[in-house]
Structure 1
Amino acid sequence: MSTATGRKQIHLAAHFPGVNSTTVWADPRSGSQIDFSSFEHLARTAERGLFDFFFLAEGLRLREHAGRIHDLDVVGRPESITVLNALAAVTDRLGLAATVNATFNEPYELARRLSSLDHLSAGRAAWNVVTSSDAFTGENFRRGGYLDRADRYTRAAEFLGTVRELWDSWTPDGEPRPFAHSGPQFRIEGEFPVPRSPQGQPVVIQAGDSAEGREFAASAADVIFTRHSTLEAGREFYADVKGRLARYGRAPGDLKIMPGVTYVLGDTDADAQERAAEIRRQQVSPQNAILALEQVWGRDLSGYDPDGPLPDIDPDPDSTLVQGRVRVADPVAVARRWRALSEEKGLSIRQTVIESGSRQSFVGSPATVAAALEEFVAADAADGFILVPHLTPGGLDAFVDRVVPLLQERGVFRTEYAGTTLRSHLGLPEPVWKGGTP
């Protein structure tokens, strides 16, 4: 979406930080990951900044390391939709996006919960559809199993289609009609108890960079949450996914591409670079460095000195030392790259993990970061960004106070909400009712 001046508008969302090494829990400014006040603070800040939506991840099982609860991670995470229902009462315009797994839920129950959130928030609900092939997580559920990786999107596609059938079982003028669905994954029929939502249907977000994930997003999602945070990778991903839309009868504006990004602000660019380096050292503590090493090697390396050299043994590609985290695809290749980097620059274990890990996406003064964000969107590398602060819950404050006004001055970000629903914030059309006649 562009303004009358032709400048492409930037969409912004806020991710509540928590798991993984992005969040610096050791910082004295860090608060609780479970107290409602933390969620409220970040959500109110995002709404003050006129963001499109507030985004919550999901944690279905406590992650384990060597058979024990991982003590460098978040222990205790509330259920997403419950939190967002509460946030609906303390926000007015901000979209509320919940990550909910399509592998371990059922269409009727989830359709009802999301539609209820959409009504309670007056049309601000979104569902981030995720899948799982993780047997470790599956043990928490009645089926006690999991789907093969090849079947995850098959179930997810039918799951989403079934949910939309339920949402469409009420006509736009408020008439309920019976529903019936019969497919390989689900066979249900009855009457859906919740009327059509204020924005037609909740917004659907999909996170996935694989070929299957890209196709799923092109066929069914309203927003895709991606990891591509460099200009070159972003432009390739953007062109590829947008190029898939036409075969599903969709226009380029029907799907918003929003990578998850981090940022560090400073009074000057040099100041920001120094702060970014210090934050990386905080994110990769000595304990986290060994954990990162063990995730690649699949071995107990607790006896190694994080300030010493990398192990000279090879990784165990079949290891289950770490449970509940995404497995390293090719640990032998990763270990080879790390060794080459360590030898080239004379780096210790901790220094190697810091050097090889992801960098903050945008670093600089507020003016530098604002210009970089505009360049990224103008170059069709993204439609906007899901910002992931490194502090909970105050990490978004400086961005809203110092960067948002500059984006507004540039004419690439709203100065007020034009509508009341999340679809209106994103510039998405209301879904066409496909319920037909009974």
Structure 2
Amino acid sequence: MSKPVKQIHLAAHFPGVNNTTVWSDPRAGSHIEFSSFAHFARTAERAKFDFLFLAEGLRLREQGGKIYDLDVVGRPDTFTVLAALAAVTDRLGLTGTINSTFNEPYEVARQFASLDHLSDGRAAWNVVTSWDAFTGENFRRGGFLPREERYSRAKEFLTTAHELFDSWQGDEIVADRETGVFLRDAKAGAFVHEGHHFDIHGRFNVPRSPQGRPVVFQAGDSDEGREFAASSADAIFSRYAALDTGRAFYTDVKSRLARYGRRPDQLLILPAATFVLGDTDAEAEEIAREVRRQQVSGATALRQLEWVWNRDLSGYDPDGPLPEVDPLPGEHTVARGRAQVRMYRDPLATAREWRELAAANGWSIRDLVIHTGNRQNFVGSPDTVARTIDAYVQADAADGFILVPHLTPGGLDEFADRVVPLLQERGVFRADYEGSTLRDHLGLDHPDGARGKRAAS
């Protein structure tokens, strides 16, 4: 029996803290004005995407007391933006990244339940953790959780939030004939949670929302993160968008589901992916090379080299050769708290490899960072990109992709106009929404007591 054709899931990622946006392009717009968010969301909905994904950074990225030169230096509150977008969209899912380390279950559950009501069932929560003191300095605890405790807190945080969401399950509305006031059963919303991280009790004051619970995303790549996703998430936000690494990640995470009594289709694998389009493959490649150069300034190149060298390299010429000195061993003191530092587990070996690459190719520091950094995942004509995305999904490298354009807010427009119709012609992407909730779009079950709406728009 032949394998059934998979339907592709597509989402749009509005960049948060990043080195993706090409600010030098005259079409680059604001990352804080609501018109940018609205344009981006409406384009995604016009293309029938599953959802918009809103990243968040809890502290501006900096090294040596200087903010990264090509970074976004402002981001409005996630819930405020998503609530506003709920008013200018009808079907598009609304996903927000909210940290479980520096928040509390009651307030986050209340905010997501409210968003699910406001959007009529389109809310999703990307659960992330933070282990570094650099971010923690912004919060009253003035510190951070030890690395081994961050997933313990996240698991209990999510469990507690689910208890709050479910505290209204099955309750009926009754009307007082004399006063006309609507009442609920006296037990509605009552909760008690006693655990290692949270000891709370009371009454949850937001009734059962359309989805029952928001769709839950998880973005960790460690073994603990993969296990957390397999046990508790509806989708995992992955960085493995290439075919080989994507298939390995897909197989690993899906294989973990059975131990939690879950089916493979109950967890979607959705990598972040960048793209560049051209009228021909050759033109797209040329555009992609220029985009990469614009994403890495001289200052950015030095900052990223410091992630490996653990030294202040501000005195080096980014258009000159790599440092002759070796990386400093031990605790990272230059780019403290940056997640990217953990990618280089053996800095001395990385430095040796990079020096060999630079010598063989005649690369400067900036050239090296451009060539060893993230490359666009999908580059080519609209037909090439459509065929490649479809091939990756059918090969189980992903269930779909969360697209990150290099221009905001109009960077998604060309994909919507030129690639989506080709995927629709191939019969692997919807021509219209078949339901109204995000769980409908993603093919996920609705929790008991929630109401899924399956009327086409």
TM-score (norm 2): 0.92
Deviations 1:374-430 (A, max 9, x none): 000000111000000001111100000000000000000000000000000000001
Residue 170 of structure 1 is aligned with which of 168, 171, 174? 168
Q: CA deviation at 1:208?
A: 1.4
Q: Which residue of 2 aligns with 1:328?
A: 341
Alignment of 1:20-419 (within 5 A): 20-174=18-172, 175=185, 176-317=188-329, 318-329=331-342, 330=345, 331-419=347-435
Native 8 Å contact 1:115 1:194 kept in 2: yes
- Cα distance in 1 for partners of 2:419, 2:67 equals 39
Q: CA deviation at 1:173?
A: 4.3
Higher mean alpha-carbon deviation, 376-385 vs 66-75, is at 66-75
Q: CA deviation at 1:5?
A: 10
**RMSD over aligned Cα atoms:** 1.6
Q: CA deviation at 1:249?
A: 1.0
Native 8 Å contact 1:238 1:257 kept in 2: yes
Report the identity percentage.
68
- Cα distance in 2 for partners of 1:136, 1:303 equals 24
Q: CA deviation at 1:203?
A: 0.3
Question: Structure 1 segments of 4 or more deviating over 4 A?
Answer: none
Q: Tell me, what secondary structure is at the counterpart of 1:328? A: helix
Change (3 A) 1:407 1:167: same
Residue 440 of structure 2 is aligned with which of 404, 424, 431? 424
Change (3 A) 1:83 1:279: same
Native 8 Å contact 2:16 2:54 kept in 1: no
Deviations 1:80-123 (A, max 9, x none): 11100000000000000000000000000100001000000000
Change (3 A) 1:83 1:177: closer
Change (3 A) 1:18 1:154: closer
Q: Tell me, what secondary structure is at the counterpart of 2:271? A: strand
- Cα distance in 1 for partners of 2:60, 2:16 equals 13
Native 8 Å contact 2:39 2:410 kept in 1: yes
AA matched with 1:301:
L
TM-score (norm 1): 0.96
- Cα distance in 1 for partners of 2:82, 2:195 equals 31
Change (3 A) 1:69 1:306: closer
Native 8 Å contact 1:18 1:392 kept in 2: no
- Cα distance in 1 for partners of 2:110, 2:368 equals 48
- Cα distance in 1 for partners of 2:413, 2:204 equals 41
Native 8 Å contact 1:17 1:391 kept in 2: no
Q: Tell me, what secondary structure is at the counterpart of 2:353? A: helix
AA matched with 2:390:
E
Q: CA deviation at 1:327?
A: 4.3
Q: CA deviation at 1:71?
A: 3.6
Q: CA deviation at 1:70?
A: 3.2
- Cα distance in 1 for partners of 2:426, 2:244 equals 23
Q: Tell me, what secondary structure is at the counterpart of 2:256? A: helix
AA matched with 1:121:
S
Q: CA deviation at 1:298?
A: 2.0
- Cα distance in 2 for partners of 1:433, 1:313 equals 63
Deviations 1:272-310 (A, max 9, x none): 011111101111122211221122212221221222110
Q: Which residue of 2 aligns with 1:11?
A: 9
Q: CA deviation at 1:323?
A: 4.4
Q: Tell me, what secondary structure is at the counterpart of 2:388? A: helix
- Cα distance in 1 for partners of 2:408, 2:32 equals 10
Higher mean alpha-carbon deviation, 270-279 vs 171-180, is at 171-180
- Cα distance in 2 for partners of 1:263, 1:287 equals 24
Unaligned runs of 5+ in 2: 173-184, 451-457
- Cα distance in 1 for partners of 2:212, 2:124 equals 12
Higher mean alpha-carbon deviation, 213-222 vs 316-325, is at 316-325
